[in-house]
Structure 1
């Protein structure tokens, strides 16, 4: 038990650090190959920031712990909105651009409901997983084409993501980050499965709680840092992008490895909670936009919304506790 807990703790630390190395190396390699900063930000960096969830999901799937992978994906999305975004809005009111209401948030809502329809039969099939991955590819292509000429996003991508490493250092950083990601994800999955078996709780619950919070820590740090620097649009973008990748990539991985039967609680408890938080966030953004008297198409999500999000998140954990 103690060894498993230590494996989880050390695994999380290495996982978070190695994800930064992986992103820095991959982004620099792409930059050295002539890829534009905005494309790097929308593809490599978006994928890289979800690398912990992706590697944990893949490791869990091939280790016959598919419930852990599903719990990780859904739990991370719940944590991203309820915990990460809730705390961020408490730190600083979040500015929302009009484009978020017209593009990113509608896409997240459609993906949330669409993925839910695929899972309503309590099974994640190879076809379901293929549809999810195909949808992700289409979304990335759309985002790149629609935002390629956005000067503001170009400047933010340059400032936030690019580390300008020389080719040799970029490849070494990338290789080290990838190797550590794989090793730490194995440690984390082993420790999580061991604790689940020892405590007599399902791997789904461990994925929804311990693993989900741990893999959401990078988003929490990055989002709060962006908000404190006044880049609140980046803060919201981090959460929306991460949730899209979790739904369409992280959750799809077990289905790609092999058909996965889901615990019924996923459809009756966990996925509805994630959907509720997503819809609540969209409504909060819409209402703030309607009530805002600000110009240039901007509105702000205030601390009241942040308090509600954190409260909903705490309420969900209490629901999980009651269902054990």
Structure 2
């Protein structure tokens, strides 16, 4: 039964996330916000909403392990699972902005998160605010840089410009309700599953919950790779990881402090997250520069499988 709640929760989160993205973009067009800003801020925030609702719901329920594990596990899955499988299907070309801005920011914010958590075993309001402010500064630099390079945003659906006010409100209501109930059911199912399997909430959140919230991104990447279209960019995945830490954990901590209840989050999981982030640099430069091909994708996927195995066996 617990698996059913998890699956239903994930389905609602996917539906809610999709409706929220569409309504947010349509609303942004009505306020004459540029496509560049919509793509880098509105869409990014809306696509992070499922993770935010899950972490917030978990923190409010006193399940900090799920709140933290959801984000840390999702960041690991984005690189090990999503990037790994996508690269195996179709090699990815990497542009130079990866190591000039995106990757350094992801590493910096990951290290800052570690020190914030280890300093008092809690992420409080001030630390959450600092994380969120760092995201605002990063987005400002990113938008300024993109404007100067006249970057084209491909992911915005122009048809949403014509959306009626009624549809926008309806989509917002559907999206909000689906996200609310989806997060409730997913957190409830994850707790029940941990109990029935005899493992901690942390194990379920860094593995099954994290994989579940990465499924939409994985599905989109695999379909694009199989069709030989432009697969998901490494920049998008890194951007998602930055948002998960700075936006999801930042906003959650501003509403409800997140404590480190399971020591393995700090002694193991967060180091796995930083290791998956750090290994991207040698993968991008050695041996073939600016490409992540099939062998490199396989290395990432095998490493991810080892992480999942150790997460389940490490507590027994």
What TM-score, normalized to structure 1?
0.90
* 1:302 equivalent in alignment to 2:293: yes
CA contact (8 A) 1:42 1:144 kept: yes
Tell me, which stretches of 5 or more residues in structure 2 are unaligned?
Answer: none
State the shift of 1:47 in Å. Answer: 1.1
State the shift of 1:226 in Å. Answer: 4.3
**Within 2, Cα distance between the matches of 1:266 and 1:56?**
18
State the shift of 1:182 in Å. Answer: 0.8
Distance 1:266 1:174, change over 3 A: same
Question: For 1:28-57, what per-residue CA distance to the aligned partner results, in whole angstroms no more than 9, with x for missing partners?
Answer: 110121011111110011111111111101
What is the RMSD of the two structures over their aligned residues, measured on CA atoms? 1.9
Tell me, which stretches of 5 or more residues in structure 1 are unaligned?
Answer: 293-298
Residue 312 of structure 1 is matched in structure 2 by: 303
CA contact (8 A) 1:81 1:277 kept: yes
Matches within 5 A, 1:279-298: 279-287=278-286, 291-292=288-289
**Within 2, Cα distance between the matches of 1:48 and 1:210?**
22
State the shift of 1:240 in Å. Answer: 0.8
Greater CA drift, 119-128 or 87-96:
119-128
Residue 205 of structure 1 is matched in structure 2 by: 203
**Within 1, Cα distance between the matches of 2:257 and 2:108?**
25
Question: For 1:80-105, what per-residue CA distance to the aligned partner results, in whole angstroms no more than 9, with x for missing partners?
Answer: 10000100101111011112221211
Residue 252 of structure 1 is matched in structure 2 by: 250
Residue 4 of structure 2 is matched in structure 1 by: 6
Question: For 1:97-132, what per-residue CA distance to the aligned partner results, in whole angstroms no more than 9, with x for missing partners?
Answer: 112221211211221222222222333233222211
**Within 1, Cα distance between the matches of 2:101 and 2:64?**
32
**Within 2, Cα distance between the matches of 1:266 and 1:242?**
20
Question: For 1:182-222, what per-residue CA distance to the aligned partner results, in whole angstroms no more than 9, with x for missing partners?
Answer: 11111111111122233332111111111111111111123
1:35 to 33, 36, 39: 33
**Within 2, Cα distance between the matches of 1:147 and 1:225?**
27
CA contact (8 A) 2:83 2:297 kept: yes
Residue 62 of structure 2 is matched in structure 1 by: 64
Residue 296 of structure 1 is matched in structure 2 by: none
**Within 2, Cα distance between the matches of 1:206 and 1:22?**
26
What TM-score, normalized to structure 2?
0.92
Distance 1:262 1:143, change over 3 A: farther
Matches within 5 A, 1:85-234: 85-121=83-119, 122-154=121-153, 156-158=154-156, 163-164=160-161, 165-227=163-225, 228=227, 230-232=229-231, 234=232
State the shift of 1:150 in Å. Answer: 4.0
**Within 2, Cα distance between the matches of 1:255 and 1:158?**
30
* 1:273 equivalent in alignment to 2:264: no
